[in-house]
Structures are given as C-alpha cells and as structure tokens.
Amino acid sequence: MSVEIVPVVGIGEVTDTDDIASVITSALAAMNVGLRDRDVVVVTHKIVSKAEGQVRTIESEEAYRALVAGEAVEILRRRGDLVITKTRHGFICANAAVDRSNVPQGWAVLLPDDPDASAHRIRLRLQRDHDVAIGVVITDTFGRAWRRGLCDVAIGVSGIPAILDLRGGRDMQGRVLEVTEVAVADEIAAAADLAMGKASGIPVAIVRGLDLPAVEGRARDLVRTASEDMFR
C-alpha cells in the first residue's frame, strides 16, 4: 500500500487569536480535501506555538541569548554562538529551540509548553469536526550528533505510537528481529518535511496510508534519559 504525503496549502499567518484545528480545517476545505480514518496530520510547531502565544520579543542578540538560557535546563556543549541544550521537555537541540525564522524581525518563537498536550487537543478537535480517528504529530527541525544536516522530528504526538515496538517480531527467515524499536513518529515528521519544504512555508501535511497499531504514543517516549544515553 502506498503512503501519500499531502501538503496543506493556503495557511497564512497564525496569531494567538487562532485555533490551529480550525485553521487546518479551513485550509482543507479550500483544497477540497477531507480527513480520513488513520490519517496523520503533521503540524510544524511554529504555528502551534504562535497560536499558544509562545512568542517573545527580542531587542538584541543579548536578549536572544538570555531567552535561550531561560528555555534551557542544561547546556551540553557550547561552540561560538551555538549552544546545544536540553529543553525542559527533555529534547536535546540547538539554542533551546528558540527560533527566529518565519517570524517578524525582533521576535522569537519558543516550543509549545507541552507539545504532547497540544497534539492531543488538536487531534480531539479535528476528530470531532471531521468525524474520523486520526493521529497528530507536531514537529521541529533538529540537528543530530555525527551526521550533517537537519531533519524534522516529532516533538508532540497523539493518537499513534511514537515508537513502534517490534520486540518479539520475526524477520522473513523466522529469526527474532534485531531492529525492535522504530522511531515511527520521527520518520513521519521527516516524511512530512519532504512535502512541506523549508522556504515554501507550508506548515501542515497529511500523511496517509499508514497502518499503525492503535497505541497512544507521546513524543516524550522518544526522549532518551541521561542514564540510557552514552553521548552527553
């Protein structure tokens, strides 16, 4: 079965007077696209943060650095202006995910306060308005250790597993699988980014055709604890 990724076009500027589920529903209506059962609606966090008022003014580089410091609960590394931080959600990322692109000059966007809860709210509202059972993934763009370039990852999840647990599964030869935990929400985030693009400013995509078990995942399932992590 094919998987399809449909970019949701026509979403303009979002402010804290907007409801994200309503914004998505309006855009889908204008596209004449409906939601189907098992669709996964992928939303870049920036519009969620804006709708939740997670936007701050920054009048200087110093104010930006202070904002980053306030959002970070731990500094893992520092090189020049770049700091690799742990956010209060547990995510390891550059500059505590405080972002100045796709926002007006002098402003910065923070992560949602509780992205799993945000995903859950958006899902319940979309499910009610469209009479479907879906998943929602909220994404951000993170760097990685060891590999160059950035990838979109899941920072909020609702209605699907964040990690697909194949433990006990067997391969085609009947051998117990070595790959047992697939970060499926991160793969969905990465896939959605292919249809959104970075510069084109499309903040939502529908990933359609997945066959995921009905497990309630959360993006915090993806956070490796410090004691499990060999690279801090």
Question: Which C-beta is closer to a second copy: that of 126 or that of 219?
Answer: 219
- Interior CA angle at 218 toward 212 and 221, to 5°? 100
* Smallest distance, a second copy to C-beta of residue 21, A: 22
Nearer to a second copy, 60 or 179 (CB): 179
Map residue 59 onto helix, strand or coil. coil
**Rule CB under 8 A: which of 6-25 touch a second copy?**
6-7
Measured distance CA(61)–CA(38) in Å, rounded: 44
Residue 62 or 104: which CB sits closer to a second copy?
104
Determine, following the binding rule CB under 8 A, whether residue 5 of this chain makes contact with a second copy. Answer: yes
Residue among 22 and 101 whose Cβ is closer to a second copy: 101
Query: Which residue number, 141 or 158, has a Cβ lying nearer to a second copy?
Result: 141
Binding residue for a second copy, selected from 39, 52, 71, 99, defined by CB under 8 A: 99
Q: Which is nearer to a second copy, 20 or 191 (CB)?
A: 191
Positions in 160-219 near a second copy (CB under 8 A): 162-164, 166, 169-173, 175-179, 181-184, 186-188, 190-191, 193-195, 198-199, 201, 207, 209-210
**Which tokens hold the place of 205?**
């995509």
- Subset of residues 33 to 72 that bind a second copy, contact rule: CB under 8 A: none
List of E strands, 19-65: 40-44, 55-57
Phi and psi, residue 165, nearest 5°: -95, 105
To the nearest whole angstrom, how small is the minimum distance from the Cβ of residue 65 to a second copy? 15
- Among positions 125-154, residues that touch a second copy (CB under 8 A) are 141, 144-153
Strands 92-94, 72-79: parallel, antiparallel or unpaired by DSSP? unpaired
- Distance of alpha carbon 221 from alpha carbon 223, whole angstroms: 6
Helix (H, G, I), strand (E, B) or coil at 69: helix
Binding of a second copy by 88 (CB under 8 A): no
Distance CA 142, CA 90 (A): 13
Task: Give me the torsion for CA of 190, 45, 11, 50, rounded to 10°.
Answer: -170
92 binds a second copy per the rule CB under 8 A = yes
Quote the Cα angle for 126-90-39, to 5°.
Answer: 25
